[in-house]
């Protein structure tokens, strides 16, 4: 193991800030960042040698690879944590504006919806990863939720319950089972997981996450968060009777007062099903 990777892992082990999920995500991102620094030509680094040039090189690399604004901000937050732990917090600019990173847009003008079809799933070699992808698509789950999913606990017949330990923000939630396709996915998940989760007993969450990332990448699948966008847009059409703005439907300005009430109720329901606190976040998925 390279020196920088080793030292960052040690810093994570001795600094248990945040939830277990936060800790795991932080360690995963720091490992990724260390590998990217090595690939960018910074071969002799240790945890205390972080400099502004390293941060700027990483941001340029992320922007060139079209990483989302939110993902870049998350990675910078992790680097700030690293810098603080080694007494070099001034190495990273306090404002993201310094790096030319715009604010996140909470209204989308183009659809980011994605679907996975049978030919796509056949390319994924790991059966647990395939099942997680199917759950993401059927219920709009986040990646972590679909990996930690325990069918024997979650499946309540006409709805599923997500444990707070699976979800972002640590709040349990309910998602309806509305059709036979969803029921079929749940039945398959039960057969595969038995009384456990979609993490095989020989692995932990971090190991399964890495397997998920590797197998989806090898299958040519990326930006699987788009499955949540597709779910939200499908639900919007079901609840309103017309397509979401991001999918070519009418914008808010085109709706009459009665339709605006229907729109608001639909967005509130979708927000709850996706596990968001704010109704306006639905605009990221459905447009406005």
Distance CA 226, CA 245 (A): 16
What does the domain layout of the chain look like in residue ranges? Answer: 3-99, 124-220, 227-286
pLDDT at 107: 61
Residue 153 near residue 163 (C-beta atoms within 8 A): yes
Distances, alpha carbon 42 to alpha carbons 3, 6, 35, 76, 269, in Å: 12, 15, 10, 18, 48
CB 83 within 8 A of CB 262: no
Low-confidence ranges of the chain (pLDDT < 50): none
The pLDDT score that the predictor gives to residue 239 is 98
pLDDT of residue 64: 80
The model scores a pTM over 0.85: no
**Where does residue 110 rank: exposed (0-12), middle (13-18), buried (19+ CB within 10 A)?**
exposed
**How many whole angstroms separate alpha carbon 99 and alpha carbon 181?**
45
The distance of Cα 79 from the centroid of its chain, to the nearest Å, equals 19
Question: Which ranges of 15-51 would DSSP assign to H, the alpha helix?
Answer: 20-39
DSSP 8-state assignment for residue 41: T
Which residues neighbour 204 within 8 Å (Cβ) at sequence distance 6 or greater? Answer: none
* The predicted structure's pLDDT at residue 78: 96
Structure confidence at residue 100 (pLDDT): 83
**What is the DSSP track for 52-67?**
HHHHHHHHHHHHHTT-
Alpha-carbon distance of 223 to 64, in angstroms, equals 16
Give the residue among 155, 163, 145 at the shortest CA–CA distance from 205: 145
Q: Express each pLDDT in 33-85 by its tens digit.
A: 999 999 999 999 999 999 999 999 999 889 887 788 888 999 999 999 999 99
- pLDDT tens digits for 177-199? 999 999 999 999 999 999 999 99
| Inter-residue contact 91 to 178 (CB < 8 Å) | no
Q: How far apart are alpha carbons 283 and 251 in whole angstroms?
A: 11
Map residue 173 onto helix, strand or coil: strand
Query: E strands along the chain, which residues?
Result: 159-162, 173-176
Q: How far is the C-alpha of 134 from the C-alpha of 115, rounded, in Å? A: 10
Which tokens go with 48? 């205390």
Helix (H, G, I), strand (E, B) or coil at 203: coil
């Amino acid at each position: 193991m390279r020196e920088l990777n080793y030292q960052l892992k040690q810093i994570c082990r001795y600094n248990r800030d945040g939830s277990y999920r936060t800790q795991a995500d932080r360690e995963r991102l720091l490992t990724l960042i260390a590998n990217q620094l090595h690939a960018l030509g910074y071969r002799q680094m240790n945890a205390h040698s972080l400099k502004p040039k390293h941060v700027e090189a990483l941001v340029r690399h992320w922007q060139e690879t079209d990483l989302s604004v939110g993902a870049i901000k998350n990675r910078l937050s992790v680097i700030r944590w690293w810098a603080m732990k080694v007494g070099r917090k001034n190495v990273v600019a306090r404002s993201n504006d310094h790096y030319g990173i715009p604010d996140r847009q909470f209204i989308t003008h183009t659809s980011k919806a994605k679907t996975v079809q049978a030919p796509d799933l056949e390319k994924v070699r790991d059966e647990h990863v395939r099942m997680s992808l199917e759950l993401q698509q059927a219920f709009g789950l986040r990646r972590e939720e679909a990996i930690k999913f325990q069918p024997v606990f979650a499946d309540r017949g006409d709805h599923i319950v997500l444990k707070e330990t699976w979800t972002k923000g640590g709040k349990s939630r309910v998602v309806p089972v509305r059709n036979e396709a969803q029921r079929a996915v749940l039945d398959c998940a039960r057969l595969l997981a038995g009384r456990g989760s979609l993490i095989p007993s020989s692995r932990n969450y971090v190991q399964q996450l890495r397997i998920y990332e590797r197998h989806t990448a090898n299958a040519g699948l990326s930006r699987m968060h788009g499955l949540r966008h597709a779910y939200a847009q499908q639900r919007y059409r079901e609840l309103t009777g017309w397509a979401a703005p991001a999918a070519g439907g009418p914008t808010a300005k085109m709706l009459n007062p009665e339709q605006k009430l229907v729109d608001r109720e639909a967005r509130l329901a979708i927000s709850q099903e996706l596990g968001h606190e704010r109704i306006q976040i639905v605009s990221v998925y459905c447009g406005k």
